[in-house]
Chains A and B, each alone.
Chain A
Amino acid sequence: DAKTTQPPSMDCAEGRAANLPCNHSTISGNEYVYWYRQIHSQGPQYIIHGLKNNETNEMASLIITEDRKSSTLILPHATLRDTAVYYCIVIQGAQKLVFGQGTRLTINP
C-alpha cells in the first residue's frame, strides 16, 4: 500500500503556480519523498525528490515540512503541458516504487 495521501484531483489556471500537497505522516527518518508525473499514455517522468531540505530544479520546487509529515510540489508557472497525474512516493534507497492513485492535475487555459 502507498504510504502517501494525495487529493484525487486539482485544477489550476495556466500561468499560475500549481501547489500539489502530499501527506506522509508515517515517513521514517531515512525515507525520501519522490515526485513523478504521468502524462496520458506515457511512462512516468521523474520530477524531483528530497529528504528534509527544500529542493528546487528546473521543473519544480519541493517544500517539505519540518516534521517531514507532509510536502508540497510547486510548479511555479503551470502550462497546459503540465496536465498529468502527479504521484508522491515515499521510498528508502533503491527500493521498489509503490504508486498510489496520485493527483490528477488539470491546467485550464
Chain B
Amino acid sequence: GAVVSQHPSWVICKSGTSVKIECRSLDFQATTMFWYRQFPKQSLMLMATSNEGSKATYEQGVEKDKFLINHASLTLSTLTVTSAHPEDSSFYICSALSGQLNTDTQYFGPGTRLTVL
C-alpha cells in the first residue's frame, strides 16, 4: 500500500509554455498533498500544501499564479507550471498524506524532471 505516482516522469518544454504534472495516490485517499521542488545538489523545498476541495497554501516566495495547484479529488492533485522559463527547470516531487494508513506519514511520488529550453 501507500503508492503515489506522478506523470510524466520527465518533460522537456519550450520557454513560455505551460506544463501540467499529475500526482495520484493509487491505493489510498489523500486528504492532503504537498508539492516540493529540488534543484541539483540541494534538498527538497516545499512549494505548497493542497487540501482536497480547497485552495492551496503556498510557501513564502512561491508564486501562486505561476504554479497552479488543483486538488479536485482525494486521489489526484495537479501542478501546472505556467509560462515556464529555464529557471523553472527542476525536479518536482509530490507527496500524499492519509491518516487511514499510517497516521500522518507522507508518501512520496517518484518525481518529475522538468527541463525548460
Contacts and interface: CB of A to CB of B under 8 A. Distances in A.
On chain B, which size bracket covers the interface?
20 to 34
Interface in A63-108: 87, 91, 93-94, 96-102
On chain A, which size bracket covers the interface?
20 to 34
Contacts of A43: 4, 6, 93, 95, 108-111
A42 B105 contact: no
A93 B104 contact: yes
Interface of A: 32, 34, 36, 38, 41-46, 49, 87, 91, 93-94, 96-102
16 contacts: A42-B110, A43-B4, A43-B93, A43-B109, A44-B44, A44-B95, A45-B108, A46-B106, A87-B43, A91-B104, A94-B99, A97-B34, A97-B44, A97-B46, A99-B43, A99-B45
Interface of B: 2, 4, 6, 32, 34, 43-46, 49, 91, 93, 95, 97, 99, 102, 104-111, 113
Contact of B43 (A32, A45, A91, A101): A101
In this complex, the member of A42, A45, A87, A102 whose beta carbon has the largest number of chain B beta carbons within 10 angstroms is A42
A46 B106 CA distance: 8
A97 B104 CA distance: 11
Nearest to B2: A46
Contacts of B43: 87, 99-102
Nearest to A102: B43
A26 to B, nearest CB: 19
B49 A96 contact: yes
A46 B104 contact: no
Contact of A98 (B2, B32, B46, B111): B46
Nearest to B107: A46
B110 A94 contact: no
Given A43-B111, A44-B95, A97-B46, 17 more contacts: A32-B104, A38-B44, A41-B113, A42-B110, A43-B109, A44-B108, A46-B2, A46-B107, A46-B108, A91-B104, A94-B32, A94-B97, A96-B46, A97-B34, A98-B46, A100-B43, A102-B43
